[in-house]
């Protein structure tokens, strides 16, 4: 157990690190962020910051020496950086979770090995793979690495369209996923402690706009049986990977009630932001608890909720949200409101008392 008063290191300086740092401060921890960017959202609320490239070995070693445990706020931190730190300081989740999550080929094989289903897929690595047997159409061609929020993927209607799509993505390693006829997208955030204790947040439904998460509905409008199935899959993945920390598992619910895993994220997740105002323990505190070996918190929903991302210029409506008694506003401290950029979010929770 790493007690309050210790220093938690966070790799990455975005909004997820910011909210994790705020949760850590509530529990009496200091936070040291490592990120190349100056004045990043996490740094604004941290006790210390290191600005260096992720391949700067002396900086990584000095950062490790200054921290008692290290976690991530995004999954594209180079595995090398996490392994360098892990040589002297605990990193939770382990660097292997980054290795898995950074490549869709490894990720899907990992999920299937853990006993969960994925969409049908084939790796596209060379020109000869474009005509291999077993390709599913229509499908989605996705780069094996570095894709997020809809970036690095194209819809492919027929086999004849595949070569052009692959060329458009730069002829890099990809996966072709068959389209899954899902009824809704859900996610489950799961934490596992060093003692093996597991706590899952209830499944939530996610709605996307232009491939970016726009809204999360809590709880997901699914049957108790489907919810139990989704939670069981998340727990199975956590155990299979010997997780110590917190991960998010994105899933599809099919018409027959089956659940298919889409992606993994070894960090707090956008679809868990609702927990900051409508759950007994929020995902960021749970991340801190799991990383530090503390008892995991209760994940009971306190009230139905809806989370809405503030993308780009939508952040300028902050005054309207502050005037709404059901709205809980969270801004990320980012300067430029570019289109599609996540500037903040609002959690809408039913107001239980009338205004005076």
Domains belonging to the chain, first-starting first, are 7-91 (3.40.50.20), 120-178 (3.30.1490.20), 182-348 (3.30.470.20)
Length of the chain: 356
Proportion of the chain above pLDDT 70, given as a percent? 97
CB–CB of 346/311 below 8 Å?
Answer: no
DSSP tag of 170: T
pTM equals 0.94
**Short-list 183, 184, 177, CA closest to 108:** 177
The dihedrals phi and psi of 83, each to the nearest 5 degrees, come to -70, -35
**Short-list 152, 30, 12, CA closest to 82:** 12
Confidence (pLDDT) at 148: 66
What distance in Å separates the CA atoms of residue 206 and residue 213, rounded to the nearest whole number?
Answer: 7
CB–CB of 266/98 below 8 Å?
Answer: yes
Confidence (pLDDT) at 149: 62
Residues of the chain with pLDDT under 70: 147-150, 351-356
pLDDT of 19-47, one tens digit each? 999 999 999 999 999 999 999 999 999 99
């Amino acid at each position: 157990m790493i007690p309050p008063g210790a220093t938690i290191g966070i790799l990455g300086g975005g909004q997820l690190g910011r909210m994790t740092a705020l949760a850590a401060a509530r529990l009496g921890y200091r936070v040291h962020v490592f990120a190349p960017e100056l004045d990043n959202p996490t740094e604004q609320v941290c006790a210390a910051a290191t600005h260096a490239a992720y391949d700067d070995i002396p900086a990584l070693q000095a950062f490790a020496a200054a921290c008692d445990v290290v976690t991530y706020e995004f999954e594209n931190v180079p595995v090398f950086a996490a392994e360098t730190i892990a040589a002297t300081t605990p990193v939770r989740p382990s660097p292997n979770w980054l290795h898995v999550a950074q490549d869709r080929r490894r990720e899907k094989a990992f999920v299937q090995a853990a006993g969960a289903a994925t969409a049908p897929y084939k790796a596209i690595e060379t020109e000869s793979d474009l005509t291999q047997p077993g390709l599913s159409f229509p499908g989605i061609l996705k780069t094996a690495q570095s894709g997020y929020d809809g970036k690095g993927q194209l819809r492919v209607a027929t086999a004849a369209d595949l070569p052009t799509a692959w060329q458009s993505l730069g002829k890099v390693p990809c996966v072709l996923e068959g389209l899954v006829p899902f009824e809704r997208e859900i996610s489950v955030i799961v934490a596992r402690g060093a003692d093996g204790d597991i706590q899952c947040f209830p499944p939530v439904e996610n709605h996307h706009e232009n491939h970016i998460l726009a809204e999360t509905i809590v709880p997901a409008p699914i049957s108790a049986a489907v919810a139990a199935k989704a939670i069981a899959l998340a727990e199975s993945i956590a155990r299979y990977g010997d997780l110590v920390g917190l991960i998010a598992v994105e899933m599809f619910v099919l018409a027959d009630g089956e659940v298919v895993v889409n992606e993994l994220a070894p960090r707090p997740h956008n679809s868990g932001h609702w927990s900051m105002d409508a759950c007994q323990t929020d995902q960021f505190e749970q991340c801190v608890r799991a990383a530090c070996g503390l008892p995991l918190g209760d994940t009971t929903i306190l009230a139905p909720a809806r989370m809405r991302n503030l993308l780009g210029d939508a952040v300028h409506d902050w005054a309207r949200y502050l005037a709404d008694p059901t709205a809980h506003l969270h801004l990320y401290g980012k300067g430029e409101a570019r289109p599609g950029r996540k500037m903040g979010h609002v959690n809408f929770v039913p107001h239980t008392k009338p205004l005076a």
